[in-house]
Structure 1
Amino acid sequence: MLPGTTDVLIVGAGPTGLTAALTLARRGVDVTLVEQRETPAVTSRAAVVHAYTLEVLDRVGAGAPLVERGLRSARFSVRDRDRVLITVPFDRLPSRHRYALMVSQSVTEEVLTERLAEAGGRVLRPYRLTGLRQEPDGAVAQFGDTTVRARWVVGADGIRSTVRELAGIPFTGPDGSAESFVLADVRVDSALPRDGASIFLARGGPLVWAPLPDDRVRLVATVTDPPAEPDLPYLQRLLDERGLRREPDQVREVLWSSRFRLHRRVAETFRAGPVLLAGDAGHVHSPAGGQGMNLGICDAVDLGETLSAVLAGGPDTILDEYAARRRPLAHEVAGFADRLTRLATVPSAGRPARDALLRLVSALPPVRRRVALRLSGLSQRPSDRVSHPATSR
């Protein structure tokens, strides 16, 4: 049952909303987390948690239990069929987490939900936001015939965010049609090592091959007109056309598959009065590089710490600072994902030059380090964290 009042109302219980609620609950904040789905999703898009995100999750007690459930990836390789163009090792990252953690988003959500319960919080389902009115001392959210008064409302409700739309925040990006993607978890016989992920740069678009626990592999590919539920023959053709040539992968089983379309978009502001955005509600872009969920989780901890500071007596202007920090990062990550996609779709005549250039620069340790820092998210690490007078419990 929904409460009549709350300090912070979070709409959306994906990784971003769960992380924000956990951050606030551990600091003793009265937080309400609502989700319109009746049950948690059992399939998910994101499959990697990067080093900086794990550092951030360590701050809210969720890093270690998540690491226990995942598979550590030692490197990330950029390939053109059988040729390795760049290998980016993670073993020298300036972090306690010298790897990328391969783990399904559904598992990430399970861990966050468990930690939230330990902090005294839970997800309230199923409640769909139907109205949002801003007032001088906060906002009033409408869920059908029920209203909730909140000092602050956080939109963590994804690409089609109702919070963002009701707050009147524009969601803009470059002109052009949406990109289409295929997503699948498969079991596959492959010559590729299971201690690292790969992205294949192919004429039809990039193909990501990422190992997961339980002998699964996550496939993500940019395609023109995918079927609603890509089947085994379709995924096999993708691997034949874009993956290894000399020892091609053989798909043994499709555990689940899907398609999705998205535009590159970033909200014009992450704050409108008492309304704040985090995660896909504020930014969406190509999944190349596996940055989306990671950025959303980092948004959530930053926002949770900042809101805690405000509720402990700090000025609400520091929420403007949150918005000013997160929006440029969203543009930076979106641009990085776009560059990976453009590298993949270089016309045939330019591919030999592209491959030669990538192999040349990959021989330079400073270049490999910069790419590793970007992929791992450590390039986003601030010199100073948000300070707050509230104490964790």
Structure 2
Amino acid sequence: MRCDVLIAGAGPTGLVLALWLTKLGIGVHIIDKTSAPGTTSRALAVQARTLELYRQLDLDDAVVAGGHPVPAVNLWVKGARKAQVRFETLASDLTPFPFLHIFPQDQHERLLIDRLEQLGVSVQRQTELLRFTDEGDRVVAYLRDPDGREQVCEAHYLAGCDGARSRVRETLGQSFPGGTYKQVFYVADVDASGPSLDGQLHADLDEADFLAVFPLAGTGRARLIGTVRDERAEHAETLRFEDVSERAIKHLQVAVQRVNWFSTYRVHHRVAERFRHGRVFLLGDAAHIHSPAGGQGMNTGIGDAVNLAWKLAAVMTGQAPDALLDSYEAERIGFARRLVATTDRVFNFVTAEGRVANLVRTRLAPVLIPAVLHFEGAREFLFRTVSQITLNYRGCPLSEGSAGEVHGGDRLPWVAANGSDNFASLKAMTWQVHVYGEASPALREWCSRRNIPLHGFEWLPQHGAAGLERDALYLIRPDTYVALAKAGGNPGFVDVYFTDHGIKLRPACAIPTAH
């Protein structure tokens, strides 16, 4: 068996990687040791940045239609709602998706599998990666198929998307430094009623145990996520919902009619030392795991997949040298480390024990949080951070220059005007140039000669407000991040950029357009 990329693990990270690579013309073989997709899930949140990236695969509409947008987050203390943060009033000019979106992982996986099958690729189930060797020019992997027979698969590259207990990471002998939270988490999908079943997200700040109510699609459906730290945590495997439900009933006024699913688990906070080893890569939970605070885990794994996919495709098609793949680790590992540190601080705040911690959480936080969030800048910063639209690759090898407030490595600012937006052209998984204002004749001629799409936008006040500079050129990567930002629109800078990075453009179907 031979393929371009062998993907171990068919969770959201592996499926998105397979989808992106397939759309880019790269042959994949994706395996998973389970017999079927999951029917329950812990991951719920699909952040705005993920939905933006999903526009490249025409997945955004399906995810939005199949899930539940959360318009606000509420903080409760002693059985009363003390603070609220509304998303639509602070993010409508930042992204086409100004909300937190709830779309359970099991539904998410089924959608990705269906789209992958439409492209002629199926997950090979009940297939286990036993071992592999990196031969320098290929990876030789040994698989156990559903009948228990051993198969050999040769691939140009291997992607380990096989979760926290990754066989790929273990085979590499890769350490996974970090720790384990002492709290036991529980998750319960319920049919219920009460003031916290209003389609919004609710979190209880009372005692040392964390508790949140996440809305699900449909009336009266919700997911409760909480922690247990006392003597009950020592016997987590025997816990029932009745053992942990008292706080939800009393503090968040949840009246439960039926429990559809209940489970307990422990959470780690770890980041692998390396994300690349020769022809082998680690993505998603195989590379980093952290607390569920902020709903970042699944989205970060999807971001890993998008980042790696276009680079693998460029190398496989001869458009770029193998060195381009080093930028995957350079760009993603720093973000993973910052994310683990941030979610760790948030989680420790909401679960810290002791008199002072309880005082801060129950007395000071309900007063200070609304006061701070009264300022538009604070609300915008919160949304940008949680939604991952602030994630950038500044200072990384592929990021150069600045123009206005936009730097190489930034997410391109979203601007909607006159019934359209500047993200429409980003559906094409290709290099492209944006100019807001007037593109110079030299730049137009250069882009036409090099077959790189040039998208010119009439200058509007909204562009300046978003941080863009008039008449500057913005070179956009296939994953929609800004590679190069330069004032003046001199195409020589783009020429030097591609030469320095050894990137060769293949003929593009698109032609220069104006908007």
Quick one: which amino acid aligns to residue 105 of structure 1?
Answer: Q
Provide the residue aligned with 2:15 in structure 1. Answer: 18
2:87 aligned to which of 89, 95, 103:
89
Query: How far 1:302 sits from its partner (Å)?
Result: 1.3
Contact kept, 8 Å, 1:180 with 1:223, in 2: the verdict is: yes
Query: How far 1:149 sits from its partner (Å)?
Result: 0.8
1:45-82 CA-to-partner distances (Å, cap 9, x unmatched) read 11111111111111222222111111111122333341
Provide the residue aligned with 1:380 in structure 2. Answer: 391
Counterparts of 2:66 and 2:237 in 1: how far apart (Å)?
30
Question: Structure 2 vs 1, CA of residues 362 and 74 (structure 1 numbering), >3 Å: closer, same or farther?
Answer: same
Query: How far 1:84 sits from its partner (Å)?
Result: 2.5
Question: Structure 2 vs 1, CA of residues 123 and 47 (structure 1 numbering), >3 Å: closer, same or farther?
Answer: same
Query: How far 1:233 sits from its partner (Å)?
Result: 2.0
Provide the residue aligned with 1:68 in structure 2. Answer: 65
Counterparts of 1:270 and 1:301 in 2: how far apart (Å)?
15
Provide the residue aligned with 2:311 in structure 1. Answer: 306
Quick one: which amino acid aligns to residue 128 of structure 1?
Answer: E
Contact kept, 8 Å, 1:153 with 1:274, in 2: the verdict is: yes
Superposition RMSD in Å: 2.1
Provide the residue aligned with 1:371 in structure 2. Answer: 382
> Runs of 5+ in structure 2 lacking a partner?
145-149, 393-408, 412-475, 479-502, 510-515
> Runs of 5+ in structure 1 lacking a partner?
none
Q: Is the radius of gyration larger for structure 1 or structure 2?
A: 2
Question: Structure 2 vs 1, CA of residues 198 and 306 (structure 1 numbering), >3 Å: closer, same or farther?
Answer: farther
Contact kept, 8 Å, 2:290 with 2:343, in 1: the verdict is: yes
Provide the residue aligned with 1:361 in structure 2. Answer: 372
Query: How far 1:354 sits from its partner (Å)?
Result: 3.3
What are the within-5 Å matches in structure 2 for residues 223-242 of structure 1? 223-224=228-229, 225=233, 227-228=236-237, 230-240=239-249
What are the within-5 Å matches in structure 2 for residues 14-53 of structure 1? 14-53=11-50
1:348 aligned to which of 358, 363, 371:
358
What are the within-5 Å matches in structure 2 for residues 158-173 of structure 1? 158-173=163-178
Counterparts of 2:308 and 2:195 in 1: how far apart (Å)?
43
Counterparts of 1:90 and 1:138 in 2: how far apart (Å)?
49
Counterparts of 2:137 and 2:210 in 1: how far apart (Å)?
48
Query: How far 1:230 sits from its partner (Å)?
Result: 4.9
Residue 333 of structure 2 is aligned to residue 327 of structure 1: yes
Quick one: which amino acid aligns to residue 177 of structure 2?
Answer: T
Quick one: which amino acid aligns to residue 69 of structure 1?
Answer: G
Residue 190 of structure 2 is aligned to residue 186 of structure 1: yes
1:251 aligned to which of 229, 251, 256:
256
Counterparts of 1:178 and 1:28 in 2: how far apart (Å)?
45
Residue 279 of structure 2 is aligned to residue 274 of structure 1: yes
Contact kept, 8 Å, 1:202 with 1:345, in 2: the verdict is: no
Question: Structure 2 vs 1, CA of residues 333 and 121 (structure 1 numbering), >3 Å: closer, same or farther?
Answer: same
- Taking every aligned residue pair, what percent have the same amino acid on both sides? 32
1:119-158 CA-to-partner distances (Å, cap 9, x unmatched) read 2211011111111111111211111321111110000000
Quick one: which amino acid aligns to residue 326 of structure 1?
Answer: R
Contact kept, 8 Å, 2:199 with 2:216, in 1: the verdict is: no
Moved over 4 A (4+): 175-178, 388-392
Contact kept, 8 Å, 2:140 with 2:153, in 1: the verdict is: yes
Counterparts of 1:336 and 1:88 in 2: how far apart (Å)?
22
Quick one: which amino acid aligns to residue 108 of structure 2?
Answer: T
Quick one: which amino acid aligns to residue 309 of structure 1?
Answer: A
What are the within-5 Å matches in structure 2 for residues 92-241 of structure 1? 92-93=90-91, 94-144=94-144, 145-173=150-178, 175=179, 178-192=182-196, 194-215=198-219, 216-224=221-229, 225=233, 227-228=236-237, 230-240=239-249
Query: How far 1:306 sits from its partner (Å)?
Result: 1.5
Quick one: which amino acid aligns to residue 58 of structure 1?
Answer: R
Contact kept, 8 Å, 1:72 with 1:100, in 2: the verdict is: yes
Contact kept, 8 Å, 2:197 with 2:254, in 1: the verdict is: no
Quick one: which amino acid aligns to residue 160 of structure 2?
Answer: G
Contact kept, 8 Å, 1:187 with 1:252, in 2: the verdict is: yes
Question: Structure 2 vs 1, CA of residues 179 and 6 (structure 1 numbering), >3 Å: closer, same or farther?
Answer: farther
Query: How far 1:161 sits from its partner (Å)?
Result: 0.5
Provide the residue aligned with 1:8 in structure 2. Answer: 5
State which drifts further: 123-132 or 206-215.
206-215
Counterparts of 1:328 and 1:51 in 2: how far apart (Å)?
21
Question: Structure 2 vs 1, CA of residues 151 and 179 (structure 1 numbering), >3 Å: closer, same or farther?
Answer: farther
SS in 2 for 1:129: strand
SS in 2 for 1:46: coil
SS in 2 for 1:264: strand
Query: How far 1:24 sits from its partner (Å)?
Result: 0.5
Contact kept, 8 Å, 1:205 with 1:341, in 2: the verdict is: no
Query: How far 1:356 sits from its partner (Å)?
Result: 2.6
Contact kept, 8 Å, 2:73 with 2:86, in 1: the verdict is: yes
1:79 aligned to which of 76, 80, 89:
76
1:168-227 CA-to-partner distances (Å, cap 9, x unmatched) read 222111x56554210111111121253321222232232121101133201111222164
Provide the residue aligned with 2:471 in structure 1. Answer: none
Quick one: which amino acid aligns to residue 9 of structure 2?
Answer: G
Counterparts of 1:274 and 1:213 in 2: how far apart (Å)?
41
TM-score, structure 2 normalization: 0.71
State which drifts further: 183-192 or 356-365.
356-365
For these two proteins, the number of residue pairs brought into alignment is: 384
Counterparts of 1:249 and 1:345 in 2: how far apart (Å)?
21
Quick one: which amino acid aligns to residue 125 of structure 1?
Answer: R
Which of 1 and 2 has higher RCO (CA within 8 Å, sep 6+)? 1
